[in-house]
Amino acid sequence: MKGNQKHIAIITLGGIGTGAPPLAGGIPIINAFVKRLSQEYFVTVLSLNPVNEEFSAEGYELFAPQKKINLVRKTLWLYGVFRKVNSTNKIDLIHALWGHPQGLLGVLLKYLYKIPLVIHLQGGDSTYLREIRYGVFRSTIHRKVVAWAYQRSDELVVLTKFQQTQLAKFVSNKEPIVIPFGVKVLNKSKRYPSSPHTIIHIGHINHVKDQETLLRAFEIVRSKIESCLIIIGQDTLSGKAQRFAKKLGILDHVDFKGVLSHQETLKLLADSSVMMHSSLYEAQGLVINEALALGVPVCGTHVGLVADLAGSSTLSTPPGDGERLAHSVLELLKTPDLYEQITKSGVEWAQKHDLDWTMEQFRRLYLKLLET
């Protein structure tokens, strides 16, 4: 520990040193966020899930159980490690990444050790979609327990105004702070694209991302302009999307890439004419930031960052409406002035709200809590 560095304990379920190749290091933005924090603070990461043996933390401490354990054992493990770490190097602030169960565990540690707590919501910890049973607020008991924890944080952080609105349906008496994750500015000189067009979709194939709507939209786009669709992400539905594409007669024009490295994904994204996003829900959608930063315009459903920037830096349509999503893509690709306007606005937003900006917002937030 250097000089007067404050000690930040990050509690996370995963995202750091987890996952399978080519993403065995975890979620890129979470890794980048923690590494940047460690440049200013002494950071200890407490992962409730095991990390890959080959993963090495750079610039911070990392503790994780050696094998998967249930919630009761996770709680006991966390308490034991937290107590030991705190006795050696007093912890000044707890930062819970994701709201459940990390938020609840963070609240318990906050009261035990009288340490300020930030709960940083990331996605399904802010909503519930009944039709696909997605999100933490799935039952009365879950709603009460999760809301109780969120209300007792010293600061509650969300990623977008859209997420803030969704959370208010379940937690009405706690006003969260909105801090999007920024990305390293990646902008390249990009001209209005010519046919044939490459449309890209980045997201694991699951019910939340709603690739059926994506494929319905692409069927319409394909019938109007020469184009192909690239889909990047893990297939969790056992080929359901591929079968649906075959049923629609567009399988030969859809390239299911599976999971790629972050670098490979960014290269394909940069070479695309437009990103098409079809999610039923997003807290933010970091791939939206990356597209904007690369000068790739985004047409997507009215969720997450697409909703926050709708009409200025993105084109948005209602979730589940493939026809309107297709028409927004066609309008964009057939209107050079609109394409240029949306692209320019997106790049400007990404430049203003980059990773440096995000870190500065958290620096100010930490400073306020550490001085009280």
Closest CA to 277 of 337, 217, 330, 228: 217
- The pLDDT value recorded for residue 4 is 83
Q: Which residue has the tokens 């609840």?
A: 104
Q: Which residue has the tokens 């979709």?
A: 201
> 346, 309 in Cβ contact below 8 A?
yes
**Hey, what CATH topology would domain 7-182+354-371 get?**
Rossmann fold (3.40.50)
Q: Which residues, 6+ apart, have CB-to-CB distance to 324 below 8 Å?
A: 317, 318
Measured CA to CA, the distance from residue 57 to residue 12 in angstroms comes to 14
Strand-pair category, 61-63 with 42-47: parallel
- The pLDDT value recorded for residue 343 is 94
197-352 has the same fold as 7-182+354-371: yes
The torsion angles phi and psi of 198, rounded to 5 degrees, stand at -105, 120
The CA dihedral of 294, 296, 302, 304, to the nearest 10 degrees, is -10
Q: Enumerate the domain spans of the chain.
A: 7-182+354-371, 197-352
71-88 and 102-113 are packed helices; what angle lies between their axes, rounded to 10 degrees?
Answer: 40
Omega prior to 21 cis, within 30 of 0: no
Instruction: Report helix, strand and coil shares of the chain as percent, to nearest 5.
Output: 40, 20, 40
pTM attached to this predicted model: 0.94
| Distance (Å) of CA 55 to CA 12, 259, 267 | 16, 19, 25
The torsion angles phi and psi of 236, rounded to 5 degrees, stand at -100, 5
Q: What tens-digit pLDDT sequence spans the chain (372 residues)?
A: 556 899 999 999 989 999 888 888 899 999 999 999 999 999 999 999 999 989 999 999 999 999 999 999 999 999 999 999 999 999 999 999 999 999 999 999 999 999 999 999 999 999 999 999 999 999 999 999 999 999 999 999 999 999 999 999 999 889 999 999 999 876 555 677 888 999 999 999 999 999 999 999 999 999 999 999 999 999 999 999 999 999 999 999 999 999 999 999 999 999 999 999 999 999 999 999 999 999 999 999 999 999 999 999 999 999 999 999 999 999 999 999 999 999 999 999 999 999 999 999 999 999 999 986
Q: Which residues, 6+ apart, have CB-to-CB distance to 112 below 8 Å?
A: none
Q: What kind and span of H or E run contains 33?
A: helix 28-37
Closest CA to 283 of 134, 96, 88, 87: 134
- The pLDDT value recorded for residue 192 is 79
Question: For the domain 197-352, what is the CATH code?
Answer: 3.40.50.2000
| Distance (Å) of CA 34 to CA 6, 171, 362 | 14, 27, 12
